[in-house]
Amino acid sequence: MKKLLSIFLLVFALFISAGAQNNSSFSAYKFVRFIQYLSGNYVDTINVNQLVDDAIIEILGQLDPHSIYISKEDVQAMNEPLEGNFEGIGVEFNILNDTLIVVNPISGGPSERVGIMAGDRIVEIDGKPITNIGLKIPDVHKLLRGPKGTRVDVKILRKGVSQLLDFTIIRDKIPIYSIDASYMARPGIGYIKINRFAATTEQEFVEALEKLEKEKMADLIIDLRNNGGGFLNSAYELASYLLEPGKLVVYTQGRNSPRTDYFSHFRGRKPFKGRLVIITDEGSASASEILAGAIQDWDRGIVVGRRTFGKGLVQNQLPLPDGSMIRLTVAKYFTPTGRAIQKPYKMGDMKDYYSDLDKRYSRGEFFNQDSVHFPDSLKYTTLVKKKVVYGGGGIMPDVFVPLDTTYYSEYYGKLVRTGLINQFAITWVDANRELLKKKYPKFEVYNKNFEVTDNILDELYSYAESRQIARDSTGIQTSKAELKLQLKGLFAQSLFGSGFYYQVTNEHNESFIKSLEVINNWTRYKHLVQ
């Protein structure tokens, strides 16, 4: 009962300390008294802890769309991608036909160190068989993750080896990378794809910059498509490598949170001075919008793509006594010109808020720049060139790129939604790995010479049929080129590493192609920058 009272007292203390009305203390006492009555007098047995969780969720649900409750069980899983590491054996894996398959051992991780290879099948963990038991991804995490320094014994089935192989793996810190790819897109033009802003992003970004500069990079494309954000600090630290010191990157302000300014500052090396393009889309949110907004407001680079999501609310993580926590919105983000990044929302109306992208699609905003409308009241001017930009929901790019749906068919959609394209790619590479490695020892050789043939596509269609997705000749014809592209990228990922997927697929991506065009024809676009 003490634990229960502590939870409620803490939750309501948040409102009291935030400057709520004087009767908040009485309301908090009233609610706690209600729980005491419920726990001590109700006729039937009830799960009070569950009721407490439900009450907190209901209260937060009446606020903004990003204030949420995180159960004790989910706290670690939600923080891992932002902390940048977890502790385990270090493998990328998939579950196919109720079998755990190693897609790739993580470079430098404990599994790679003991000799586990891509394509290996883990059939036993610590003496317990794990095949044909309905294995799920959370089960794998429970079995293979654990404190650094602890031991796990596995039995491996390896193609071409008749006996099961025994491995003892000592768990270690496993990095979760926030940069998916960094490579020279063209001579002199570097490319960096960032998937989130985590604790390790700054270090990864600097390493990518230095690698590309050694390869004679003069200009840079930063890809923030589908980057949902992360840590504010990571975004503004990255801006320090792109802006001169002393430039306002973002500021936050809330009802009980005084304005806090974040300025670019010296990070041990001179900021990158080459021509800069930032790629965004409707999946770019929060910290991505902070970086893109700062670059646009200071006329430092050109934003290419589509309008970003519009998530400009600042959350603090506040722990509760049982190990759970709440993420409570305490302020809003503003770009250097004073633009509010957050799109409009109604308190407690989550459905309308999260259907906003569907509405944008229906209005044609993904296909035609003229379909995007901003009121004059949200008009701002950038800080150097004085070009017009708009607030009130996301960052509108300088150069618009429409969404390409010409390849999309219902058949393709079914393959994507069921994960069958990825599953087939893993299965196909596993069956042909030895031949592929021999014929294509390096990515450059593979990228130049490998072709996804019609016969390989036919294997995909048969694979889908075996999983109750019938062939659709019209859909196949519509999506054929895209399926070939996706498979070639996924094969490259399995053979050479995750970053090589983008080196294959970017060459046919309209936003990437437009970014190259902007850099190669800078004089045509220089009115957009300093």
Residues annotated as catalytic are: 286, 311, 315
How far are the Cα atoms of 208, 307, 513 from residue 184, in angstroms, in the given order?
11, 26, 14
Across 457-491, b (16+ Cβ under 10 Å) vs e yields eebbbebbeeeebeebeebbebbbebbbbbbbbbb
CA distance 511 to 404: 10
Contact in structure between 280 and 305 (CB atoms under 8 Å): yes
CA distance 51 to 281: 40
Q: Is 420 exposed, middle or buried (0-12, 13-18, 19+ CB in 10 A)?
A: middle
The pair of structure tokens assigned to 176 is: 């979760």
- Residue ranges of the alpha helices (H) in 392-497? 410-417, 420-439, 443-449, 454-465, 473-496
Question: Hey, CA dihedral for 349, 355, 360, 363, is it positive or negative?
Answer: negative
| Interacting residues of 441 by C-beta distance below 8 A, sequence separation 6+ | none
DSSP 121-171: EEEEETTEE-TTS---HHHHHHHH---TT-EEEEEEE-TT-SSPEEEEEE-
Q: Is 268 exposed, middle or buried (0-12, 13-18, 19+ CB in 10 A)?
A: exposed
- Residue 382: helix, strand or coil by DSSP? coil
The dihedrals phi and psi of 399, each to the nearest 5 degrees, come to -125, 115
Q: Kindly give the interhelix angle for 201-214 and 232-239, rounded to the nearest 10 degrees.
A: 30
The dihedrals phi and psi of 198, each to the nearest 5 degrees, come to -115, -175
Of 289, 180, 177, 186, the closest CA to residue 235 belongs to 289
Bridging pattern class, strands 388-390 and 91-96: unpaired
Neighbours of 69 (CB within 10 A): 21
